[in-house]
């Protein structure tokens, strides 16, 4: 009876499909559970907390609607932190990409001591941003700091490096860039090695100038490396925390705070958990928006080439 | 290459190396000087003085901090390798709409900043009595380092030819058997990359331990060092010695495994 045999085989197939589905579910389950418990649940409960005046530890709190969101837009300290977050995020993305690409072009040539120099540029990437900040403290200290010592040797007056907002923010941008430029460099170096030599040779034979070779060959073919680097730096820079904590802890006043350090301040120091959670949501949305918009733009560019 | 370039390049390279290592040199010079020695920090001491390092070790309880950090890093790394590879396999092999959604979820998680969820996460862990426990922070560190681990594994698995998979399927191997017997044994190179990249991230982490490990007994290295520097009138010498000591293990590891570090960073980066 052929029809019986067929239905029997179908039953076996169905059972094996079910087993296969279950196995798949089992393989996905641990990651799903972790994301659900430690990412999505907190994200949602953060929205709830942002509607309350909770102080972070008491049993009692009340719902205050959108008050924190309204406050967020009027708070001058939040405005400063927002501008700084953009400087740390977008600024360090631009600086590190340009700087890292320049290093990659340099280290793509063979010369004596190349390996050692490249390792020296890359080594700071390994170090915690917090510890790097502390290490830089010995350079920047007002009395006895290495930089002011050098200034004195040239007959210049000592500078209180971190006392002025503009200078402090620029220094934080500079230090995070000089620490992590090695990461961008290494990714660009790997990208450069994927570009076939003959493209350059052909262009050179046609008399194409160095700058045009860079614009027309190097940059377009580096697109994947550029996208990776820009994404990495944006996500990292927009949530900068440890370096700011080590160098200024947001001071003087509130002038060097990023969103991340401000969240920590509002939660730990002012015990305003509700407001802190609101700023957390703002930080998440800012990173999401900026990264997605920039990525879209870069992918469109890549397709164009 | 012209002759001037040939002479200039090594000089430029040497100059860059000096500039990038300068802050570490200055910190080392502070750590090695007697407190009474007020000479410039550019000048290395011409005597041996290790008192600051001794202080850092004893007062800062650095040995315990190293031990704690090692326990956290190793446990997190094991979970990352196990869960990361297991999640990545079907994600890389099966094309379905559900998997595309899943991949976007993972990408989204990568963009969640630590501090943005710290208030609700802390209150949740508090309710679970998980503050100051290792299991609590290990699960959190695993969760937030998992997306990139899954990505690296998925990218690597896509490059493995499917012939063996098909053969095993014909022999009646299920998804799990296929993963465990056929795919897993081939994952050594990408596992090295995950261990290095993510191990370093966990080792250097500051935000999560700051919130979830508040007892001096279970503090990590970054916390131990920050204790030195957060005193208003801190002892410069011992603090810099502590910072230098924290840099040593990472440096040694880097110099020993340089090749893997660089390939680990770049393998997943460019398609």
Domain residues of chain A, as ranges? 67-304
**Tokens 């403290």 sit on residue:** A137
Say which CATH class A67-304 falls into.
mainly alpha
B181 — pLDDT class (breaks 50, 70, 90): confident
Of B40, B83, B109, the CB nearest to A149: B40
Quote the radius of gyration of chain B (alpha carbons, Å): 23
Which token pair is B13? 């390279």
Of B83, B119, B229, the CB nearest to A49: B119
- CB neighbour burial string for B41-75, b if at least 16 within 10 angstroms, e if fewer: beeeeeeeeeebbebbbeebbbeebbebbeebbeb
Q: A174-178, B133-137, B161-165, B249-253: which has the minimum mean pLDDT? A: B161-165
B12 closest CA partner among A218, A136, A105: A105
Residues in chain A: 305
CB B245 within 8 A of CB A149: no
Residue percentage of chain A with pLDDT more than 70 = 95
Average pLDDT over residues B13-27: 94
Domains of chain B: 3-49 (no CATH), 63-225+246-267 (1.10.3720.10)
- Nearest-Cα distance to chain A for B112, in Å, is 6
Asked if pLDDT for residue A277 goes beyond 80, the answer is: yes
Q: Which of residues 61-100 of A touch B (CB under 8 A)?
A: none
Residue A52, beta-bridge partner list = A63
Task: Determine the 3-state secondary structure of A63 from DSSP.
Answer: strand
Provide ipTM, 2 decimals. 0.89
Q: What is the pLDDT of residue B271?
A: 46
Rounded to whole angstroms, how far apart are CA atoms A228 and A79? Answer: 29
Which token pair is A18? 């079910």
Q: What is the pLDDT of residues A45-93, one digit of tens each?
A: 999 999 999 998 888 888 998 999 999 999 999 999 999 999 999 999 9
Using an 8 Å CB-CB cutoff, list chain A residues near B1: 109
Cross-chain Cβ contact B120/A46 below 8 Å: yes
CB A271 within 8 A of CB A56: yes
Rounded to whole angstroms, how far apart are CA atoms A69 and A268? Answer: 20
For residue A51, the 8-state DSSP code is T
Asked if pLDDT for residue A160 goes beyond 70, the answer is: yes
Asked if pLDDT for residue B207 goes beyond 60, the answer is: yes
Average pLDDT over residues A168-180: 96
Of A111, A149, A239, the CB nearest to B114: A239
Q: A13-27, B83-97, B144-158, B201-215: which has the minimum mean pLDDT? A: A13-27
CB B182 within 8 A of CB B173: yes
Going from the C-alpha of A61 to that of each of A48, A49, A277, the distances in angstroms are: 12, 10, 14
Helix or strand (DSSP H, E) at A270:
none
Rounded to whole angstroms, how far apart are CA atoms B28 and B239? Answer: 11
Q: Give how far the C-alpha of residue A93 lies from the chain's centroid of Cα atoms, to the nearest Å.
A: 8
Rounded to whole angstroms, how far apart are CA atoms A46 and A202? Answer: 58
Rounded to whole angstroms, how far apart are CA atoms A238 and A82? Answer: 10
Task: Determine the 3-state secondary structure of A61 from DSSP.
Answer: coil
Residues in chain B: 271
Cβ-Cβ contacts under 8 Å between A and B: the total is: 267
């Amino acid at each position: 009876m052929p029809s019986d045999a067929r239905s029997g085989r179908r039953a076996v197939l169905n059972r094996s499909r079910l087993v296969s589905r279950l196995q798949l579910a089992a393989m996905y389950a641990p990651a799903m559970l972790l994301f659900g418990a430690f990412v999505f649940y907190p994200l949602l409960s953060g929205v709830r907390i942002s509607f309350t005046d909770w102080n972070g530890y008491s049993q009692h709190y009340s719902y205050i609607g959108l008050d924190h969101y309204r406050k967020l837009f009027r708070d001058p300290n939040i405005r400063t932190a927002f501008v700084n977050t953009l400087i740390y995020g977008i600024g360090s993305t631009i600086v590190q990409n340009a700087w890292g690409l320049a290093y990659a072009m340099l280290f793509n040539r063979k010369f004596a001591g190349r390996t050692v120099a490249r390792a020296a540029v890359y080594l700071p990437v390994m170090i915690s941003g917090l510890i790097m900040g502390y290490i830089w403290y010995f350079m920047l200290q007002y009395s006895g700091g290495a930089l002011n010592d050098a200034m004195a040797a040239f007959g210049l007056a000592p500078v209180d490096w971190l006392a002025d907002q503009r200078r402090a923010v620029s220094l934080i941008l500079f230090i995070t860039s000089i620490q992590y430029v090695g990461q961008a460099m290494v990714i660009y170096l790997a990208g450069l090695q994927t570009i076939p030599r003959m493209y350059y040779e052909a262009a050179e034979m046609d008399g194409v100038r160095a700058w045009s070779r860079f614009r027309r060959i190097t940059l377009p073919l580096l697109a994947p490396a550029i996208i990776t680097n820009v994404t990495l730096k944006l996500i990292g820079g927009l949530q900068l925390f440890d370096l700011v904590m080590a160098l200024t802890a947001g001071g003087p006043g509130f002038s060097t705070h990023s969103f991340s350090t401000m969240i920590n301040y509002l939660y730990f120091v002012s015990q305003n958990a509700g407001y802190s959670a609101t700023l957390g949501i703002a930080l998440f949305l800012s990173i999401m928006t900026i990264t997605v918009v920039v990525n879209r733009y870069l992918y469109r560019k890549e397709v164009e080439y | 290459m012209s002759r001037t370039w040939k002479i200039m390049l090594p000089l430029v390279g040497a100059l860059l190396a000096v500039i990038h290592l300068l802050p570490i040199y200055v910190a080392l010079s502070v750590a090695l000087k007697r407190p009474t020695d007020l000479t410039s920090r550019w000048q290395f001491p011409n005597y041996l003085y290790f008192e600051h390092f001794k202080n850092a070790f004893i007062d800062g309880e650095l040995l315990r901090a190293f031990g704690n950090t090692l326990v956290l890093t190793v446990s997190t790394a094991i979970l990352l390798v196990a869960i990361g590879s297991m999640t990545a396999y079907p994600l890389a092999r099966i094309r379905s709409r559900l998997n595309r959604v899943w991949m976007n979820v993972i990408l989204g998680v990568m963009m969640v900043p630590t501090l943005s969820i710290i208030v609700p996460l802390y209150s949740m862990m508090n309710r679970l009595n998980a503050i100051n426990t290792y299991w609590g922070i290990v699960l959190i560190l695993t969760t937030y380092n998992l997306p990139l681990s899954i990505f690296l594994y998925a990218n690597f698995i896509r490059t493995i030819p499917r012939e063996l998979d098909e053969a095993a399927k014909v022999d009646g191997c299920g998804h799990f058997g296929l993963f465990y017997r056929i795919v897993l044994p081939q994952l050594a190179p990408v596992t090295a990359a995950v261990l290095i990249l993510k191990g370093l991230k966990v080792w250097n982490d500051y935000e999560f331990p700051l919130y979830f490990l508040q007892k001096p007994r279970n503090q990590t290295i970054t916390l131990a060092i920050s204790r030195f520097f957060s005193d208003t009138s801190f002892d410069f010498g011992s603090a810099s010695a502590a910072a230098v000591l924290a840099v040593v293990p990472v440096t040694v590891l880097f110099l020993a495994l340089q090749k893997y570090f660089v390939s680990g960073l770049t393998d997943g980066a460019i398609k």
